Amino acid sequence: MKEITLKPFEGYEYAEGGVCAAKGFKASGVYCGIKKSSVPDGNESPISNVKNDICMVVSDCDCNAAAVYTQNKVKGAPIIVTKDNISKANGKMRAIIANSKNANTCNSDGEHKAQAMCKLTADALGIEPEQVIVASTGVIGQILPIEPVAEAVPKLVEKLDYNGNLEAATAIMTTDTVKKEIAVKFDIGGKSVTLGGMGKGSGMIHPNMATTLNFYTTDCNISSELLQSALDEVVKITYNCLSVDGDQSTNDMVCIMANGMANNAEIKAGSKEFEVFKKALYIAMLHITKMLAKDGEGATKLIECRVTGAPDFETAKIIAKSVIRSPLVKCAMYGADANCGRIMCAMGYAETDCDVTKADVYYISKAGKILVCENGLGLQFDEDLAKAILSEEDITILAQLKQGSSEATAWGCDMTYDYVKINGDYRS
C-alpha cells in the first residue's frame, strides 16, 4: 500500500480536490502521444488517467506566484523559461502547462520548445506567454516533439474543470505508481482559505532547494514576496529532507500560485496570519514529501530518520539525510536486517563536525520500539522483535545524539531489486 497516514493538525482540515481545491482553479489532463499508451486499444478505462501525459492548471484571475528550482548545474529548459517568465511578469502568473515522459533537457532547441508551450497556452487562454509556468519531466536528452503539444492544448482548454485535479495529477506521473495530491482548509481573519497541490516523483530524488515537479494553488490573499519567503522556509524542512536514491534531478520545481479569491485581508509579514499560512503550506508539503518517499521506485517501505539532540538544525538534517540516503541502510530496511552498524556508518560519514560516536539508535514501527545501539556501541537485542519492527511498511530510525536541543527528520525508502529493473530500461 502506497498511502500515507494524514496526521491531524489542530485548526486545519484536509479536503478533496488537490490542485483544484482552492477557489477559482481549474485543471485538465489528456493523452497527446508523448508517452506511450498504458492501456491497450479498445480497453480504455472511463477516465484515461493512466494515459495522460500533459496537463494544464488555470486560475480564473491573475495570481501572485513564487517558485524554487533544482540546484543541479544542468537545468531543464522549462526551469530556465519559467524562472524568466515569473521575473518578466513580476510574479503575476495565470496558468501551468506540464508534460511527462520527456524532460526537454540537454536539447539544443529546448528553450524554444518550452517558450512555444507557453505561447500555445497563452494564445488559447487569451493571456500573455510570460504568465505561464511550464514544466517537463521524463527522459533527458531526447528532443521534445512540439506537434503533440500543439494538438493537445485546445483539448486541455476545452476540458478545464474545477474538478479536473485527478486528470492533471496523473498526467505528470512517470514511474510513479500512485497520484500525489493534498488539500488543506484553514481560517484567516474569519475567512475560509484553502491550499492544495499535486506532485510527482519516484526516482532521481535527492533535492537541495526543490524536488520533482510540485504545483500548489491557494485562494489566499498574499503577495509574491511573502509566498517566496514561505516557500523558501518550508522547503528546507520538507522537500530538502527527502532522498530516494541520491540523484538530484535536472527538472526539479516547486511553484505556488495565490489568486486571493478567499477575500481575506492581505497577509502582512511577521503577522500571526502569515504563521497560519506557513503552517498550512508545511502540512501540505510534508504530506506530499512523504508520498514521494513512500512511492520511491520499487520501494516497499517508507523510512523516516529522526535525529534529535543535535547542536543545530542543519547538522541534524545532514545526518538524517545521510542515513536515509545510504544504499546499505536502504538494503537493510528492505531485508528487515536490524544492523545498527549501517546506521552508525552513515552518520559517521555525514559531512558535519558533530561527534556521533555516542549516539543511541532505535528502530520504531507499529510493531514496537527497540534500542539497538547505546552510546555508539551495538547491543544484544531481541532479533525476532527487531525483525517484526522492520517488516512493517512504515519504519522510523531514531538517532539521539545527546549534543544539543535541535532535531530534524528526513524521509526515504528501502532499495529493492525492482529499483534496478526500473532504471535499467527507463527509456523503454
- Under CATH, which number does the domain 302-424 receive? 3.10.20.340
- pLDDT value at position 60? 98
| pLDDT by residue, tens only, the chain of 428 residues | 577 888 899 999 999 999 999 999 999 999 999 865 444 444 443 344 448 999 999 999 999 999 999 878 888 899 999 999 999 999 999 999 999 999 999 999 999 999 999 999 999 999 999 999 999 988 888 999 999 999 999 999 999 999 999 999 999 988 888 899 999 999 999 999 999 999 987 666 677 655 578 999 999 999 999 999 999 999 999 998 988 766 667 778 899 999 999 999 999 999 999 999 999 999 999 999 999 888 877 789 999 999 999 999 999 999 999 999 999 999 999 999 999 999 999 999 999 999 999 999 999 999 999 999 999 999 999 999 999 999 999 999 999 999 999 999 999 998 888 777 767 765 55
CATH architecture of the domain with residue range 13-294: 4-Layer Sandwich (3.60)
Task: Report the catalytic residues.
Answer: 211
Please count the CA atoms within 13 angstroms of the CA of 425 that sit on its side-chain side: 3
User: Which three-class secondary structure state does DSSP give residue 28?
Assistant: strand
Instruction: Identify the pLDDT of residue 225.
Output: 98
Show the CA angle centred on residue 285, arms to residues 53 and 212, nearest 5°.
40
Q: Which three cell numbers stand for residue 37?
A: 499508451
Threshold 0.85, pTM exceeds: yes
Contacts of 397 (CB under 8 A, 6+ apart): 303, 304, 305, 306, 323, 324, 329, 343, 361, 362, 363, 364
Looking at residue 423, what DSSP letter applies? H
Question: Given this model, what pLDDT does residue 420 score?
Answer: 73
Using CA atoms, how far apart are residues 24 and 58, in angstroms rounded to an integer?
A: 8
DSSP 161: B
Locate the domains of the chain by residue range. 13-294, 302-424
Instruction: Tell me whether residue 45 is exposed, middle or buried, using C-beta atoms within 10 angstroms of its C-beta: 0 to 12, 13 to 18, 19 or more.
Output: exposed
Segment 38-47 long-range contacts (CB within 8 Å, at least 24 positions apart): 47/166, 47/167
> Using an 8 Å Cβ cutoff, are 136 and 71 in contact?
no
Q: How far apart are CA 314 and CA 416, in angstroms?
A: 29
Whole-angstrom distance, CA of residue 48 vs CA of residue 38: 9
